[in-house]
Amino acid sequence: MAETKDVFAQEPHPVEDDLFKEPTRKRRKSDRDQRFRAFPSVEQSSLKEYEKLESRTRRVLSNTYQKLIQSVFLDDSVPNGVKYLINRLLALIEKPTLDPIYIGLFGSTGAGKSSLINAIIQQAMFLPVSGESICTSCVVQVSSGCCVQYEAKIHLLSDQEWREELKNLTKLLHRMEELGGAEADAWNRDEAVEEATWKLQMIYGNGAESKNYEELLKAKPKGKIPTCRVITLKAEEAEELSIKLDPYIRTQRRDWHGEAAEMHIWPLIKHVEVTLPKSDLIPEGVVLVDIPGTGDFNSKRDEMWKKTIDKCSVIWVISDVERVSGGRAHEDLLNESIKACQRGFCRDVALVVTKTDKLHLPEYLRERKAGNQAIQSQREAVLERNEMIKLQRTRILKEKLERKLPADFNVLEASDLVYTVSAQEYWQQALLTEEETEIPKLREYIRKSLLDKKRRTVTKYVTEAFGLLLLTDSVNSTQKLPNEYLHVSDLRRFTEEKVELLEKAIAQCFACMERPLKEGVRTARTSYRGILRACLVRSKGNQGFHQTLKAVCLRNGIYASRTLARIDLNEALTQPIYDQIDPVFGSIFRTGKPAGLALMPHLDAFKYSLQEKMMEIGIRSGWKYDSCKKNFLIQEISAILGGLEDHILRRKRRIYESLTTSIQSDLKLCYEEAAQITGKKACERMKDVIRRGVDQQVAEGMFERAQERMQHQFQQLKAGIVEKVKGSIATMLALASSQGDGLYKELADVGSEYKEMEKLHRSLREAAENARLRKGMQEFLLRASPRKAGPRRTSL
């Protein structure tokens, strides 16, 4: 029942069809206990406390829900107040226990993403690994669950999605007979052509690259494609599943001539979900995501690539120790990760330097400048070099983050921005101890993230449930409230005034974007030709670039390859604007103390002002009889604005990307015209069409239109916030102003459920105190325990 999940709809809780819906059954205790296997005993105790609190709260809510349903079951019409209570109860009962924490491992070819995941989950060769070539060919999600077997679900492109890609691939491979010999050779060496040829041969066999779109639609694929477009693999052991999974997710070599049927559908794979049973290392609720570094030529896979990045709350940028010191690919990955903080849900970015056991000792000693202490072994050199990398890269990364993000952004306060890991040494421990490989440190980070989120989620859940039970119990009160009745009319007038002030505050927040947008547009107008020239020029001229450029045009300005750097003309053209707006945009959507630029603190201030007004009215009126209603209102305002925060975060991405979306829309006809060009000098002619098209659009106000569209998105968000706040609070106040007869005169008695909920609310505070005591004891034991010594084996 989607409607009941959205407290901001015009009718917040319409339940005509689903009023008598059965709540989802709770998880069995034995299954719940399996979720804690990855945690040390101290953390397990804390988690079990919170899990028990949540489970008991759901049971109380479910009992209350059933009683209310039975009260109104035979009625032709149900009063609005009762509908509100029933829907709020059902929404809380069916609220997910914990939204998954997505941790994205984001890196380029050969960086060691798969090897790192294998080490974290303690399965040496589970995902395919290889020294330099591309191994993982798509987005792969790895998580643990309460399943008995190892399981993988391989999601394929739909028939329509593959037809779209097939059409673009055949357009890309089309060449005219009038091509000269030199141009034909360059065409054949083009990376985009090689990949397109390779994909068609994998699906349809040799010679497919010479057939047109209509012929390939009639051709029979070499591999078997399930109609449901999902392939499910299961196995008792990890190694068994790994063998079954390998052909689907490993990028096949272009000289491969095998006959395994599953390999023939590799280009159709969209993404893969792998579930481990009852992991002792990765807790349920955490998803590790292996993300290729550049996206994909297929528009759906590329869209999913970007959405996957945006839904990650944590991004680890993975970089080989020998490549971490520079290079465009590394910078592109960092920039994309920082953008995820701006447009998505990402709250933490870290650099994970892999393969840190690699070091040529004679060369290192010759170039070593720091320190007076002599290096006695390979191990000492590796540890010293790793520490230097941490210090240097932490400073560089922090400076980069500070330029792009608000000063109070959480990641800037992180104790660890850089990790130096070695998956190989984790298994061998010839030079480093297990702790020094920092794999355990990453696991600890994962556990801590989940534990912190669980505490916050359960605290919010129990508090919200308590407020709802307060009101549910109070509506059955038959006492009259002559002089001590809650002055809802006063509160309504006060709320109207505060909503007007909130609307003005939001407008002021969004108005702060106007100046940097104008500055960015001015810079973009003066620099776009140089940016376009840099995007369209290659060091070797047009050799090997003809069809890559055509691929860019077929995808409306974007080309993502598995081996080359991502090309996005729309993003490149808007980068001068983003450079200007990024700090301000980040400040608007930050959390923290109220400030002129920040949106969320204004919503918090609005919430606190309403709650304070309730307390003031309550003190003036005595609250002798209506304290339940007061407490409900205070809790319900928190719930309403908490849901509003999620709504804002979802809209944030659309606003941030509106600049590039606008540019792409304005240049669409230009790209389409360029994509049709074939024959002699096609590459130069395509470039000319693109240049002229961009010049024309800039002259007609392309950048100014992008600015206007972003500002319009901000205005829509402001209007949406105000409308949702007004509607939700009006419904809430109407409910609060109702006496017993305004709700329902003969609702079932829920006094016992209220008393149980009151106990749970007290237990919540006790659980928080117990968690603090356990944490203090754990820190003391860690400080008191001896450190593990390094391996005895060392090599000079």
The sheet with strand 418-420 has its strands ordered as 230-235, 150-156, 269-277, 139-145, 286-292, 101-107, 314-320, 348-354, 418-420
Which is higher by pLDDT, 432 or 641? 432
Element (H, E) at 638: helix 627-666
Which pLDDT score, from 0 to 100, does residue 618 have?
64
* Least confident residue range of 182-196, 503-517, 590-604, 693-707: 182-196
pLDDT for residue 638 is more than 80 = no
Residue 232 pLDDT level (bands cut at 50, 70, 90): very high
- The amino acid sitting at 328 is R
Positive or negative CA dihedral for 279, 282, 283, 287?
Answer: negative
Give the residue-averaged pLDDT of 338-346. 85
- pLDDT band of residue 32 (cuts 50, 70, 90) is low
Q: Looking at the predicted structure, is the pLDDT value of residue 458 above 50?
A: yes
Q: What pLDDT does residue 483 have? A: 40
User: What stretches of 700-750 show up as alpha helix (H) in DSSP?
Assistant: 702-737, 740-743
Q: What pLDDT does 392 receive? A: 92
Averaged pLDDT for residues 238-243: 92
Instruction: Kindly state the helix (H) or strand (E) to which residue 315 belongs, with its residue range.
Output: strand 314-320
At residue 593, φ and ψ (nearest 5 deg) are -70, 150
For residue 765, the number of C-alpha atoms closer than 13 Å in the C-beta half-sphere is 4
Phi, psi dihedral angles at 200 (to 5 degrees): -65, -35
pLDDT per residue over 165-187, tens digit each? 999 889 888 754 445 555 555 54
Which range has the top average pLDDT, 212-226, 246-260, 468-482? Answer: 212-226
Task: With H, G, I as helix, E, B as strand and everything else as coil, classify residue 289.
Answer: strand
Which segments of 339-470 are extended strands (E)? 348-354, 418-420
Residue 605 corresponds to which tokens in the numbers above? Answer: 């201030």
Q: With a cut of 90, say whether residue 327 has pLDDT above it.
A: no
Instruction: Say what percent of the chain tops pLDDT 70.
Output: 79
Return the minimum-mean-pLDDT range out of 76-85, 155-164, 241-250, 267-276.
76-85
Q: Tell me what pLDDT residue 730 has.
A: 80
Per the confidence metrics, is the pTM higher than 0.75? Answer: yes
Model confidence at 596: pLDDT above 60? no
User: Residue 418 is encoded by which pair of tokens?
Assistant: 């850089």
The residue to which tokens 């800039």 are assigned: 698
**Residue 675 pLDDT > 70, yes or no?**
yes
Residue 620 is predicted with a pLDDT of 66
Window from 93-97, 441-445, 555-559, 637-641 with minimum mean pLDDT? 637-641
Buried b (16+ CB within 10 A) or exposed e, 173-200: bebeeebeeebeebbeebbbbbbbbbbb
pLDDT for residue 101: 93
Cα distances from 24 to residues 27, 34, 318, 537, 663, in angstroms, run: 9, 20, 40, 58, 46
The pLDDT assigned to 477 comes to 57
Mean local confidence (pLDDT), 574-599 = 80
d(CA 632, CA 614): 11
pLDDT in tens, 95-116: 888 889 999 999 887 888 999 9
563 or 585, higher pLDDT: 585
Indicate whether 128 pLDDT > 60. yes
Q: Which residues contact 744 (CB under 8 A, 6 or more apart)?
A: 71, 72, 78, 79, 81, 82, 475
pLDDT surpassing 50 at residue 3: no
pLDDT tens for each residue of 485-529: 446 677 788 888 889 999 998 998 899 999 999 999 999 999 999
